Amino acid sequence: MNYPFWYIPHLGSGWVIGIIAIFHVVISQFAVGGGLYLPMAERKALRMPAGPIRDGWLKQLASHSKFFLILTGVFGTVSGVGIWFAIGLTHPEATSTLIHNFVFGWAMEWVFFMIELTTVAVYYYTWNRIDPKLHLTVGWVYAGASAATLIIINGILAFMLTPGDTWLAVAGTGAEASKFWNAFFNPTYWPSLLMRVGVCTSLAGVWALITSSRMDGDKDPALKASLVKWSVKWLVPSFVATPFLLVWYLYMVPASQRALLTLGIDTINSGTFSTVTRMALIIIITSATIIGVAYFLAYRNPTDFNLSHAMAVLLLAYIATGAGEYSREMLRKPYVIGRWMYSNGVRVPYVSRINQQGYLATSNWIWTSPGLSPTSYSRGEAIFRGECGSCHTLDGYRPLRQLLDGRDSASIRNFVVMLHDNKPDSPYRKFMPPMVGTSQDIDDLTNFLNAQVNPPAPANSKPVLTAHK
């Protein structure tokens, strides 16, 4: 509301975050899990009797840690910063709230990032150059720092879904930061932390399968088999625990939002919100497939497990992770910060004030050209960008031209009024914020949307039939 709106045609600005963030999560959660994998594997290898298997393990781990350093240190960090850019542009309002509440949390996070980056570089470059015990200690320091980064960020992320009643009681009073710890250890904090730890250990296994699958199974079958099979075991804890953790997680989500899960069971019609159901189906099937492929291909046939197989597992993990993060985001509708701020940045207690004063009147940034007074269309466009652009595009993702297709001007106005009134029996109330503004705002938005859905005929159109002399 207080910032210019960043509208990305076709894709939608939300997906800019999504694409960067899902990529980041697959790598960063590997950083946490792999950070545990490396010292545990190193310790296991150091305890082996001297011989080719022990040497092979240590050599492979050194190679894996180089891969780990580059992947997490380069792609992980760049995509993490990328998230900052994306959220600041896409949703400055929510970002502002998070920063005001959790700035010291992020400061702590960056201390741990510095420790991570330093220790991972030291870990790789001092293989076989320092005392093995000291080298192992460096690995454990990394593991601890990396775990701390997850522990911290999870609080901020889970807060967005369930800020908790304590924080909500002081929201908007200026005293929000006094409830830092209540907001941090919010209702979904613990189930989501444990689920993410499971994902981290699974991703550690998946990425380890990538590097170990490239070993030559014909040349060194015993070595490859031992590494591949040990890596597969890293997938087990998450797959056993996640179903229970998921039930716990959903139990802590407010009932009205939990209900979003069921909207796609019987219909996918326009005007329903079937996304969460559909994404949940994808998580189930890709996870079940990972179990199948990991057991039957990797565990039972480790020497034949090649890079293509490992890439298939990685792709499935990517899709499962992406679908999971997407469902989590969708579960939060109609809010971006649960029960406090709607997805379009409007704060819940301010709705009646904006309805009286007008949406554009309460917005600091209006797109005006000097010398041109705003028309209904241009005001409508500004309202569209502010109130609808967070979730809708005109022609691409959740396209309004298609969703409103077939409606005339009066029908569009009725629809906007229905969203504005937001009555308890409105089917959209579950997943859409109310349309806020005066009746002038309603008219302006209607004019803009109508111009998109029913564009006026071109000026010099020829008649279909012409009379011949």
Partner 1 sequence: MTSKTASIYDWVDERLGLSELVAFARHKTVPVHSQSFWYYWGGISLFLFLVQCFTGVLLLVYYHPGADAYESVRQITFVMHFGWLIRSAHSWSANLMIFSILVHMFSVYFMKAYRKPREFGWLSGMALLGLASVFGFSGYLLPMDELSYFATKVGLEIPNAIPWIGPAISSMLRGGLQVNEFTVQRFFALHVVVLPALFLPLLGFHLWLVQRHGNAMPPSEEAKPAAARKTIPFFPNFIRKDLGMWLVSLNILALLASVFPWSLGKQADMLVPAPQGIHPEWYFMSPFEMLKLLGNFLPGEAGEIAGLFIFTIGIALWVLIPFYDTTSDSGRRARAAHYFGLIAVFALLATTAIGYWTIR
Chosen residue from 65, 212, 286, 378 binding partner 1 by CB under 8 A: 286
CB of residue 237 vs partner 1: minimum separation in angstroms?
Answer: 22
Burial class from Cβ neighbours inside 10 Å (0-12, 13-18, 19+) for residue 381 reads: buried
Chosen residue from 134, 222, 281, 410 binding partner 1 by CB under 8 A: 281
Chosen residue from 220, 304, 325, 443 binding partner 1 by CB under 8 A: 304
297 interacts with partner 1 by CB under 8 A: yes
331 interacts with partner 1 by CB under 8 A: no
Chosen residue from 63, 95, 166, 289 binding partner 1 by CB under 8 A: 289
CB of residue 293 vs partner 1: minimum separation in angstroms?
Answer: 6
328 interacts with partner 1 by CB under 8 A: no
Phi-psi region of 4 (alpha: psi -120 to 50; beta: other; left: phi over 0): beta
* Half-sphere exposure (Cβ direction) of 199: Cα atoms closer than 13 Å: 27
- In terms of CB distance, is 145 or 330 closer to partner 1? 330
Residue 334 is given by DSSP the state T
| Backbone dihedral angles phi then psi of residue 466, each to the nearest 5 degrees | -120, 145
467 interacts with partner 1 by CB under 8 A: no
CB of residue 210 vs partner 1: minimum separation in angstroms?
Answer: 17
Tell me how many degrees the CA angle 340-346-351 measures, rounded to the nearest 5.
90
The CA distance from 155 to 337, in Å, is 13
312 interacts with partner 1 by CB under 8 A: yes
261 interacts with partner 1 by CB under 8 A: no
285 interacts with partner 1 by CB under 8 A: yes
279 interacts with partner 1 by CB under 8 A: yes
311 interacts with partner 1 by CB under 8 A: no
309 interacts with partner 1 by CB under 8 A: yes
Burial class from Cβ neighbours inside 10 Å (0-12, 13-18, 19+) for residue 425 reads: exposed
Task: Let me know: does 62 contact 55? Beta carbons within 8 Å.
Answer: no
CB of residue 403 vs partner 1: minimum separation in angstroms?
Answer: 12
Residue the block writes with tokens 């229970």: 244
Burial class from Cβ neighbours inside 10 Å (0-12, 13-18, 19+) for residue 161 reads: buried
Q: Regarding beta strands 341-342 and 335-337, do their DSSP bridges make them parallel or antiparallel, or are they unpaired?
A: antiparallel
Rounded (to 5) percent helix, strand, coil in the chain: 70, 0, 30
Nearest of 205, 253, 251, 197 to residue 228 by alpha carbon: 205
267 interacts with partner 1 by CB under 8 A: yes
268 interacts with partner 1 by CB under 8 A: yes
CB of residue 341 vs partner 1: minimum separation in angstroms?
Answer: 28
206 interacts with partner 1 by CB under 8 A: no
Q: Map residues 214-253 to x or -, x wherever contact with partner 1 holds by CB under 8 A.
A: ----------------------------------------
The CA distance from 89 to 4, in Å, is 9
Chosen residue from 55, 165, 266, 421 binding partner 1 by CB under 8 A: 266
CB of residue 312 vs partner 1: minimum separation in angstroms?
Answer: 6
CB of residue 270 vs partner 1: minimum separation in angstroms?
Answer: 9
The CA distance from 446 to 425, in Å, is 22
Tell me which stretch binds partner 1 (CB under 8 A): 125-133, 298-306, 351-359, 384-392.
Answer: 298-306
- In terms of CB distance, is 374 or 399 closer to partner 1? 399
Phi-psi region of 20 (alpha: psi -120 to 50; beta: other; left: phi over 0): alpha
321 interacts with partner 1 by CB under 8 A: no
416 interacts with partner 1 by CB under 8 A: no
Residue 416 C-alpha from the chain's centroid: 29
Bond preceding residue 334 cis, omega within 30 of 0? yes
Chosen residue from 26, 156, 200, 316 binding partner 1 by CB under 8 A: 316
Task: List residues binding partner 1 (CB under 8 A).
Answer: 265-269, 274, 278-279, 281-282, 285-286, 289, 292-293, 296-297, 300-301, 304, 309, 312, 316, 319
